[in-house]
Structure 1
Amino acid sequence: MSFDLDTSNPHFAKAVELRKIFVKDAVARDKAGGKPLDQLRLLKESGLLTILIPREYGGAGEPWSTALKIGREFAKVDGSLGHLFGYHFSSVHAAFLRGTPEQAANSYRRSAAGNWFWGNTANSFSKSLFGRQEGEWHVLDGFRPFTSGSHIADYLQVAWEDRLTNERRFAAIPVTREGVHIEDDWDGIGQRQTGSGRVTYSNVRIHRDEVFDFKPNEVKPYQTLTPFQQQSVLLNVFVGSAQGALIAAREYTNEKSRPWIHSGVDKHTDDPWVKRVYGDLYVKTQAATLLADQAAQALDDVWARGHDLTEEERGQAAVKIASANVFAGNVALEVTSQIFEVMGARSATNENGFDRFWRNVRIHTLHNPAEYKTRNVGNWFLTGGYPEPATFQ
């Protein structure tokens, strides 16, 4: 397995073409942070931002697995772009999961026609954005942290708590709405261009027709799939980062690494230790890739069930996605760290930028603790009990 996409699929062929462009300045952009505006322009020109929108609304009607594998391809060279691409689709589908059929159709149609890129300001943990009702309007004040994609978005998914009832509400609004301030203050050690900082809302008015008709006490299984989308994006960023780090390390080792003074070999690649490490990392990355593919198929299956999805079907998919996520994160951390041992001391320079793979994975896994997903899988294995629908599950 070479980790190559099947380019007979035109969407995959376009992704490979873009990945070859993205890699050219990936190190420099990681150092600079900020907005990947040229890359966004290329994504819009490629048509890839609409591939998961149903055909009847102007999209390509592709399954989730297509977007996940494209995000994985981007993450081979740039974890930020893999992250942004995948999370975009979670917000694209927000109206379908939380709104009326009419709201979903309208959102899909307008997003496809406008070729919108979506950002997210619906952080599940932050109780920092509140709204009050004024007639037909909800007026928002406060902020949301970890707003991935907001800094380059056309449209935003937003969630807030009602000041009186504490009920969580959801909507979608243009990023140009008066009172919306994109702080673009993300300062993480990794995922430097994701714009995952703060968005401030100052007297932002949202009409009741823009608010999704979501009833927390009447949630159906299909409406609990948002964590599956997000977890699937993360795990494919992990896998893509591991693949990309391993490929980049192999190239460096073949072209630049020198044998250790006590190795007894003339070429670094002849050292049995080096061969064993690469073999071990490849096997683990291959296993993570196969688990990721199984998890992507599981998401495709439950998504295709739509309103008919059962709790048991959801639970089965939850275990597969959690398992793949845990393994992918652990493998990616190991691969992106251990490659330095077999590349050698000269590889660990800022110019090479190989550390970006580890930094991207490390910061992502901190937002996605493997411990709790591992417990869920263990509980299912012991008792047969599926993870309860909740944030990150």
Structure 2
Amino acid sequence: MTTIGVKSEVYLEKAKKLAAYFAEDAVERDKLGGTPKKQKDQIRESGLLNLLIPEEFGGEGQHWSTALEIVREFSKTDAALGHLFGYHSLFVSDIQIKGTKEQQAFFYPQSVQQNAFWGNSSNPLNESLLGKRQGKSYLLNGTKAFSSGSPDSQYLWLSFNDAVTGQYMNGVIPTKKPGISVRDNWNAIGQRQTGSGKVDFKNVELEEHEIIDDFVKNPTPFSTLGPSLSQLILTNVFIGSAFGAMAEAKKYTTSKTRPWLTAGVEKASHDPGILRKYGELWIQAKAASVLADEAAKLLDQVWEKEKELTEEERGELAVSVATANVFSGKAALDVTSSIFEVMGARSVNNEYGYDRFWRNVRTHTLHNPAEYKLRNIGNWVLNEQYPTPNPYA
């Protein structure tokens, strides 16, 4: 990606070793679904979960570009684990974006001490979780869907609506708090081990220090960065999936694929049509990675400004991220479906599990429709208007 320091290389080496471990049973685990407990514990033990927590609170204080490179590395072999690590990074960082310094000082040291995994229950389009004010706390009742990373997590980043005013709110809460029931019932065609099912809340007390409302009381451009972070995480899931699919296809093509009878060559790896197709796939994945790296570099610069961030700087990042996200989504969909053309008919055998790359990308490219990101980009190109901040832009 962008220029990486010596210390960052240490984290990336850890990620590469973990990715090799994840690859050993990625196909089997994808078929099973559920929670990758063993693999999540390996990530815990690596110390990578503390990557973005500031050093003053016991974390590693690393750049977002490093975290995104790790998302990409994990996604080459297991997009679900890339997603889980990326979203953990997002929810940990949400405290810095939307919370107070006091809340950082409270939650971050605990998270570091526990090597905690953060999940979420914060789908902003789902307003079925309501909070009723009780003095300085809230009593939560309802259900949230698409709660990625909620199984086997220590903390949940959540969103809810005030039962009286309808105000959109956030909070952080221990997953094992009484009244919380995590339903590990995610059953989609892709990202099958992300634990993106439902979480039920029954008379759950959200205490005063767990209520994240500084972004409501003191809104800033910095407090609206969450959607850009989320989109850039998924961008790197797409790119990792594309490169991972090509790596698997290369192994198959060079060892098992037979040249077509009229190709006039002895090896499939010498077939002109196959060579051309690999060239096309590589160009798409590489172009996507360049756009994503450019956005990551800009994110690192923006992140340093925190509350001093301007609307224009936030807007520049939003356009850069949307550009990378749309292109990488399309590129990854093409790459992960086209690999079968360079492997041949036998590669569709279910034992190989090559379809998981496409299924994972297809599942996530629907998360935030490209159509509306394209309109935002077009409005910026034609009318010089930055995207209006909302939960998805």
- TM-score computed with the length of structure 1 as normaliser: 0.97
2:366 & 2:136 partners in 1: Cα distance?
40
Residue 377 of structure 2: aligned partner: 377
**Runs of 4+ with deviation above 4 angstroms:** 5-8
**Unaligned 5+ runs, structure 1:** none
Q: Spell out, residue by residue over 1:234-261, the C-alpha distance to the aligned partner (whole angstroms, 9 max, x if none).
A: 0000000001001110111001101122
Residue 316 of structure 2: aligned partner: 316
Residue 167 of structure 2: aligned partner: 167
Residue 20 of structure 2: aligned partner: 20
Checking the alignment, whether the CA contact within 8 Å between 1:6 and 1:13 is kept in structure 2 is no
Residue 47 of structure 1: aligned partner: 47
SS in 1 for 2:388: coil
Aligned-residue offset at 1:203:
1.0
Aligned-residue offset at 1:262:
2.8
User: Are 1:332 and 2:293 an aligned pair?
Assistant: no
Checking the alignment, whether the CA contact within 8 Å between 2:245 and 2:336 is kept in structure 1 is yes
Alignment of 1:268-347 (within 5 A): 268-347=268-347
Aligned-residue offset at 1:301:
1.2
2:182 & 2:87 partners in 1: Cα distance?
17
RMSD of aligned Cα (Å): 1.5
Checking the alignment, whether the CA contact within 8 Å between 1:7 and 1:13 is kept in structure 2 is no
2:50 & 2:356 partners in 1: Cα distance?
29
Q: Spell out, residue by residue over 1:26-50, the C-alpha distance to the aligned partner (whole angstroms, 9 max, x if none).
A: 0000000011111011101111000
Residue 84 of structure 2: aligned partner: 84
Residue 62 of structure 1: aligned partner: 62
SS in 2 for 1:230: helix
Alignment of 1:1-393 (within 5 A): 9-216=9-216, 218-393=218-393
> Which amino acid is the alignment partner of residue 18 of structure 2?
L
Aligned-residue offset at 1:189:
0.3
CA pair 8-306 structure 1, distance change in 2 beyond 3 A? closer
Checking the alignment, whether the CA contact within 8 Å between 2:45 and 2:115 is kept in structure 1 is no
SS in 2 for 1:333: helix
1:358 & 1:274 partners in 2: Cα distance?
20
1:183 & 1:89 partners in 2: Cα distance?
22
**Sequence identity of aligned pairs in percent?**
50
> Which amino acid is the alignment partner of residue 15 of structure 1?
A
1:338 & 1:285 partners in 2: Cα distance?
12
Aligned-residue offset at 1:218:
4.1
Checking the alignment, whether the CA contact within 8 Å between 1:161 and 1:168 is kept in structure 2 is yes
Checking the alignment, whether the CA contact within 8 Å between 1:292 and 1:324 is kept in structure 2 is yes
SS in 1 for 2:212: coil
2:364 & 2:180 partners in 1: Cα distance?
26
Q: Spell out, residue by residue over 1:339-367, the C-alpha distance to the aligned partner (whole angstroms, 9 max, x if none).
A: 10110011111110100000000000011
* Aligned pairs, number: 390
